[in-house]
Structure 1
Amino acid sequence: MKTVLITGANRSIGLETVKQLSEKGLFVYLGARDLQKGEAVAAELSQNGYKNIKAIQIDVTNEESVTAARNIIEKEQGKLDILINNAGVLGDVPQDSSTTSVEDIQKTFDTNFFGVIRVTQAFLELLKKSDSPRISNITSGLGSLALHSDPTWKYYAVKAVSYVSSKTALNAFTVTLAYELKDLPFKVNAIDPGYTATDFNHHSGPGSVESAASFIIKHTVTDAEAPTGKFFSNDIEDESEESPW
């Protein structure tokens, strides 16, 4: 049975991804900053018939928390097959480039960028013990510099400096990590689930969490011939589903 860790998984897209992976027969660690909240969600899922789900405390901004989670999974599983770096924050709004403080930008980067690096580096050795390790970094179309330079893009006017730049940085980390691991059986990709109606955006997005989670899984639970170092987006109306960087 393949083992998955999903950060920020006690609600919204992360939670739906937990559900769908459980239905596919994977063992899922439901990562949550607040263990009590995570355990309450896991218990409710169990009551609703979902199996092989365990809540685990992980605060991606805290080194001790990440190390503790790694030690638990190593003791219980001996390896990790899939890491989905889903935890993310929007940051305070508005986010004008000329007025947003360095401290506010750093706070967003702590979760969206440095948090992903912290978790990935901590779990890399466990992932290397898998026959088919996968790392999916959940990003946003707003991280695309190419789209942000296109005045015809429908989200062209959304220039939130903290969030946008943190996701662009995350995309860059994905590219460099994929290259470093290219001679191993890893698949490392940036995945944009699309503009989805969640608590994150006051349910303003047109997409559903079901579609978003399905898209993440489609580009995560892949075979040996699948690409690595790509940027897939649920908002791209193209057969390849690839977004420009």
Structure 2
Amino acid sequence: MVKGYHKDIKDTKKANEVRDKAHEVLVVLVGQLAEEIAQIKRERDVLANGTMVDGDMVEEVIELTEQETECWNRAEDITPQDESEPKEAQVHIHPASILITPTNKVGDAGSGIRIQRVALQDIGQVVKKRPQSSCRVKEKESGFGMPTTERMLETRWANVHFDRHERQIRCAVVTGANKGIGFEICRQLALNKIQVILTARNESRGIEAVKKLNASGVQNVIFHQLDVKDPTSISHLVKFIETHFKKIDILVNNAAVLGIHYVVETLLYSGGQVQIVDKNGDYLPGVIQETYEMGEECLETNYYGTKKVTEALVPLLQLSKSPKIVNVTSSYGQLSHIPNDELKRELDDIDNLTKERINEIIRSFLRDFKAAKLRENGWPLTPSAYKVSKAAINAYTRLMAKELKYILVNCVDPGHVKTDMSFNTGKDVMEGAKGPVMAALLPDEGPSGVYFEQTVIAPF
């Protein structure tokens, strides 16, 4: 902190010398901070343009933002902690508030330097582009009848308007979002003034998705690579959010795989919807392939991947004033699709069910899958792993809602939507995304631990 006035300084000349000395220090400090922030801002623009793609770039941006944080800390170090002492001239240095107003009111009012707080959006008008640093002196009459010198720092650093308000914007993460419902969820959240981090396993597809949104006029979407099955990938996402956004407000778990392979792309149709139901199971082997490895991957992605991402991001959600978790599910996950009544009752008994027990149920399913005992032991059939994964997600949603009282945790079935999974049959993705987006934007007093059938609460 720089103090340019002391109650013993009554002489105008002395007061002005102190003021000018403090101002010189201020010019140097503000110049250094402005230059550093301008450089960091240029690098961060990579994010705003949606072109930050690979791990090396992630690490580079993280390093730059750590430098930015250090810069903010230095600014705080030279900012007075106690602004309640009007007789001490205090220099407030803020990288986004650098309109300097030295005063020379001598007498009881004291003499010193003030920094006029400037609206963040007006910083571009304060920091001017110029070949070299300079100060312009403008004399005007003060209300006290004495001249007041206003010095506006003009620097060579153009457009230094690093908006600290960016840290306060609402931020959402959407997994599996390079196409289909996930892509549309990103678009609709962004149109609701949410900063969206669109994630996808495939970097090139994720980048193209962001470019497509940007081209349509949706700018507040950026891309970050995420493989929900890979702990390292999840860790990189967490670090990225911690560095750039400090917290998140919304998590939409949309990433999922069907766990089957279509051998013949002409199935049984009724009303335009693919009929993959257990009663047709005897007819499906020739048209649908569902191996043990596919089932294992399906559960690893749909259930364990969702669980890993959620639990990694919960600490950042807890920093939000209005946190929401939305798990995109399916009607295939409803308990009515499970023939085994005992298993059905167990998954519905949320008071006694545990996450450990869900893990045991999944392991039991995989053992029976491998041993070809799914029908014998009352498991759902094709797509069996997908149905079990969504039933597990529904149960997990209810458990997390019990555990995380401060976070609204819900699951949403978007309905039969026109995506790759449905052979592009069904309703438009704009309609399908309405349910998850509605759940993501619920008021704080909204329900938690419920199953939405599109936008209406329905039984599990």
- Global fold match (TM > 0.5): yes
Are residues 1:84 and 2:252 paired? Answer: yes
Q: Paired residue for 2:329, among 118, 127, 139? A: 139
Query: How far apart are the structure 2 equivalents of 1:158 and 1:207?
Result: 25
Tell me the equivalent position of 2:412.
191
Counterparts of 1:209-224 in structure 2, within 5 Å, are 209-224=429-444
Query: How far apart are the structure 2 equivalents of 1:229 and 1:164?
Result: 19
Q: Aligned to 2:222, what secondary structure does the other structure show?
A: strand
Q: Deviation digits for residues 87-106 of structure 1, max 9, x if unmatched?
A: 00001147989995543321
C-alpha distance 111-35 of structure 1, shift in aligned 2 (>3 A): same
Check conservation: 1:147, 1:244, Cα contact below 8 A: no
Q: Deviation digits for residues 164-204 of structure 1, max 9, x if unmatched?
A: 0110011111111110012x2x1000111011111122112
Check conservation: 2:259, 2:383, Cα contact below 8 A: no
C-alpha distance 67-195 of structure 1, shift in aligned 2 (>3 A): same
Are residues 1:230 and 2:440 paired? Answer: no
**Bigger shift: residues 97-106 or 41-50:** 97-106
Query: How far apart are the structure 2 equivalents of 1:120 and 1:134?
Result: 11
Check conservation: 2:200, 2:227, Cα contact below 8 A: yes
AA aligned to 2:433 is: A
Q: Deviation digits for residues 140-166 of structure 1, max 9, x if unmatched?
A: 0110013666xxxxxxx9842111011
1:44 deviation in Å? 2.2
Query: How far apart are the structure 1 equivalents of 2:337 and 2:447?
Result: 22
1:45 deviation in Å? 1.4
Check conservation: 1:89, 1:112, Cα contact below 8 A: yes
C-alpha distance 225-201 of structure 1, shift in aligned 2 (>3 A): same
Check conservation: 1:4, 1:83, Cα contact below 8 A: yes
Are residues 1:201 and 2:418 paired? Answer: no
AA aligned to 1:215 is: G
Q: Aligned to 2:433, what secondary structure does the other structure show?
A: helix
Query: How far apart are the structure 2 equivalents of 1:4 and 1:12?
Result: 17
Check conservation: 1:82, 1:135, Cα contact below 8 A: yes
| TM-score, length of structure 2 as denominator length | 0.48
1:36 deviation in Å? 2.1
Q: Aligned to 1:189, what secondary structure does the other structure show?
A: strand
Check conservation: 1:146, 1:244, Cα contact below 8 A: no
Check conservation: 2:260, 2:383, Cα contact below 8 A: no
**Bigger shift: residues 42-51 or 94-103:** 94-103
Q: Aligned to 1:28, what secondary structure does the other structure show?
A: strand
Aligned length: 230
Query: How far apart are the structure 1 equivalents of 2:386 and 2:424?
Result: 18
Tell me the equivalent position of 2:215.
47
Q: Deviation digits for residues 60-101 of structure 1, max 9, x if unmatched?
A: 011100110111011000001000000000011479899955
Tell me the equivalent position of 1:112.
302
Query: How far apart are the structure 1 equivalents of 2:203 and 2:453?
Result: 31
RMSD after superposition: 2.2
| TM-score, length of structure 1 as denominator length | 0.88
C-alpha distance 101-35 of structure 1, shift in aligned 2 (>3 A): closer
Tell me the equivalent position of 2:458.
243
Larger RCO of the pair (alpha carbons < 8 Å, separation 6+) = 1
Q: Which runs of 5+ in 2 are unaligned?
A: 1-168, 263-275, 340-379
Runs of 4+ in 1 over 6 A off after TM superposition: 94-99
Q: Paired residue for 2:400, among 177, 185, 200? A: 177
**Bigger shift: residues 167-176 or 40-49:** 40-49
Query: How far apart are the structure 1 equivalents of 2:245 and 2:386?
Result: 34
**Bigger shift: residues 15-24 or 92-101:** 92-101
Q: Which runs of 5+ in 1 are unaligned?
A: 150-156, 235-239
Q: Paired residue for 2:383, among 136, 141, 160? A: 160
Query: How far apart are the structure 2 equivalents of 1:55 and 1:200?
Result: 23
C-alpha distance 202-158 of structure 1, shift in aligned 2 (>3 A): farther
Query: How far apart are the structure 2 equivalents of 1:147 and 1:225?
Result: 32
Query: How far apart are the structure 2 equivalents of 1:135 and 1:74?
Result: 18
Query: How far apart are the structure 1 equivalents of 2:221 and 2:261?
Result: 35
Query: How far apart are the structure 2 equivalents of 1:178 and 1:86?
Result: 18
**Bigger shift: residues 26-35 or 158-167:** 158-167
Check conservation: 2:172, 2:196, Cα contact below 8 A: yes
Are residues 1:35 and 2:258 paired? Answer: no
Which one has the largest radius of gyration? 2
1:47 deviation in Å? 1.9
Q: Deviation digits for residues 94-129 of structure 1, max 9, x if unmatched?
A: 798999554332110011000000100110100000
Tell me the equivalent position of 1:153.
none
